[in-house]
Amino acid sequence: MLGFKNRGTRANYVNRYRVRAGLRSQEPSATESVLVLCGGAVASDISEAELMARYARDERGYTGPIRLDRDSSTTWENIQNAIPLVEHADTIKIVSNSLHAEKGRAYLWRLRPDLAERLVRARDYRFGELALVKPIAAVIGLRNLRGQ
């Protein structure tokens, strides 16, 4: 899961959404599943990854394995730092809002095409979810993609 700038000591609305999307994206039939949470302390003393892990465990009841990237401050770094945490996985899902996840997948294709071949779609889209955030995220995401 890709983190989002988070002030304070609790996962914000966007990071809570991403955790929920990541949890519902896990395959029930998988023999092993690991949450990889990415994001450094960009706007707080606590990393986005740690805040999302707390939310997953304390508020969503997740008890499975978690790996954290506590250092990244950009989407590029999220993907780069996640590579050692996912390189042995059979399938890889990048969870975020739709355009941000697409950007992350594009970065993985640039960095490690061998791993990108293992990408499968996450369940990070539900009709009506984040209805007010999606138009703003789409404009920002498209602008950022054009700048790459």
Per-domain residue ranges of the chain: 13-146
Q: Which pLDDT value is given to residue 136?
A: 65
| The token pair that represents 15 in the structure block | 């990071």
> Residue 143 and residue 148: Cα distance in Å, rounded?
9
Task: Give the position of tokens 């996985």.
Answer: 89
Please report the pLDDT score of residue 131 as a whole number: 60
Give the architecture-level CATH label for domain 13-146: 3-Layer(aba) Sandwich (3.40)
pLDDT averaged over consecutive 10-residue blocks of the chain (148 residues)? Answer: 93 94 92 95 95 98 97 96 96 90 95 97 70 63 66
As given in the structure block, the two tokens for residue 64 are: 């499975």
CA of residue 2 relative to chain centroid, distance = 3
pLDDT score at 135: 65
How does DSSP assign 43-74, residue by residue?
Answer: SSSS-HHHHHHHIIIIIT---S-EEEE-S--S
The confidence score (pLDDT) of residue 126 equals 58
Q: How far is CA 12 from CA 6, 15, 43, 105, 121, in A?
A: 6, 5, 12, 23, 24
**Residue 9: closest CA among 60, 66, 65, 47:** 47
